[in-house]
Amino acid sequence: MSTLAKPNLSVQVSGIKMKNPVTVASGTFGLQSDNYFDLSVLGAVVPKGITLNPKEGNKPPRTIETPSGMLNAIGLQNPGIDHFIKEVLPRYEKFDIPIIINISAESAEEYALLAEKLTATGKITGIEINVSCPNLKRGGFQFGSDPKETEKVVKAVRKATDLTIITKLTPNVTDIMEIAKAAEGAGSDAISLINTLLGTSIDVKTRKFHLANVTGGLSGPAVKPVAVRMVWQCFNAVKIPIIGMGGISNANDALEFILAGATAVAVGTYNFVNPRSPFEIIEGIKNYLIENNIADINDLRGAVETV
Ligand SMILES: Cc1cc2nc3c(=O)[nH]c(=O)nc-3n(C[C@H](O)[C@H](O)[C@H](O)COP(=O)(O)O)c2cc1C
C-alpha cells in the first residue's frame, strides 16, 4: 500500500480548469440537486440544453426504461435563452466551479446568436455545442452526422465567442473520427461524446410504440462500450481534449474513459439511479490513484495498452 495521500485530480479541458475530471451530462442533473449536495465539489457543471426560444418538448410518454438503460425523447424542453440568463444562470453562479452551457439550434446563425448572448453575460466558462440531439425534427443530429454541417456550426460559434467551445458528438454516425476532425478543424477547443444512440421500443400488449415520439435516445450502462470505443478512436484522431460520457455509473467506468483518452468525464443517466454518483466517482478515482501509487490523473489519459 502506498503512502501517496494527495494525488493530483485537476485537469484542463482547453481553457476550462477543473479541480477534478468529473462533471455531469447535460439534461440529467438539475439545480434541485444542490439541496442535497455541494455542487462546488464537481469539476464543472453542465445544465440542461438551451435553445433560442422556449421549448415545451415532445408529447409524453417521453421516457421508457430499457435493459441497462433508458430511452428518452424529451425534445429539449427548456425556458429559452433569455429566461435562462435572467432567472436560472444566477442560481449557478454561487458555486465556485466552471459553468458550461449546452446549446442547440436550428441553424449556424442561431447557434452563433446563442453563443453571443451567453458570452455577453461574462458568467460562463464554456459552451457545449449540441449538434447531436436525436429527438428534434429540426436542428438535431443532422448537423453532427455531417462533417460539413458540423464545420459550419462550429465556425459560426467560433466567430461569436472567445469562450472554450466543446462540440458534442453523436454516436449515430459511421465514422466518428471524421466528425471529430471537422470540429477540430473548425476551431472547436474540445469535443464531448457520446450523446444518445437512436433507438425505439414497442409495447407488445398494446402493439404501440412506448414513446409518443416513436424514437428516442438510448443512454445508460448499455451504451458504455460504444462510448469508450468512440472516445478511444477520437483520442487517436484529434489533438483537442475529450470529455467522455455514456453509461458511466462508477469510478471504474470513469477510469475506462480516461484510459481510452478522455481528459474529463460526465455522469448522465446514472444520476437518476443514484444522484450521489458523480460525488462518489470523484472519491473512487482518488482512491484508485492512491491505491495504485499514481500521483497525477493526467498520467492515466490514453494509457490503455493492447494485450
Ligand atoms: C433525460 C435526458 C436528457 C438529456 N438532455 C440532453 C440535452 O439537453 N443536451 C445534450 O447535449 N444531451 C442531453 N442528453 C444526453 C446526455 O447528456 C448524455 O450525452 C447521454 O445520455 C449519454 O450519457 P449517459 O449514458 O451517462 O446518460 C440527455 C440525456 C437524457 C437521458
pLDDT at position 86 is 97
| Ligand 1 nearest-atom number relative to CA 49 | 8
Q: How far apart are CA 180 and CA 303, in angstroms?
A: 20
What's the number of CA atoms in the CB half-sphere (13 Å) around residue 229? 8
- Pairing mode, if any, of strands 197-200 and 16-18? unpaired
pLDDT at position 136 is 74
Q: What is the pLDDT of residues 207-240, one digit of tens each?
A: 999 999 999 999 999 999 999 999 999 999 999 9
Residue nearest to atom 10 of ligand 1 (CA): 26
Which CATH number is 11-300's, of 3.20.20.70, 3.40.50.10490, 1.20.58.1290, 3.40.50.720? Answer: 3.20.20.70
Residue nearest to atom 19 of ligand 1 (CA): 195
- All 3 cell numbers of residue 126? 464554456
Nearest CA-CA partner of 166 in 82, 246, 261, 101 = 101
Residue nearest to atom 31 of ligand 1 (CA): 269
Extents of the domains making up the chain: 11-300
pLDDT at position 138 is 72
Asked if residue 33 has pLDDT above 70, the reply is: no
Stretch 96-113: mean pLDDT, rounded? Answer: 96
DSSP codes joined into one string, 272-307:
HH-TTHHHHHHHHHHHHHHHTT-SBGGGGTT-----
User: How far does residue 4's CA lie from ligand 1's centre (Å)?
Assistant: 36
* Whether 133 is catalytic: yes
Q: What is the pLDDT of residues 239-266, one digit of tens each?
A: 999 999 999 999 999 999 999 999 999 9
Site of grid cell 438503460 = 69
pLDDT at position 5 is 77
Query: Mean pLDDT over all residues of the chain?
Result: 95
pLDDT at position 75 is 94
pLDDT at position 34 is 66
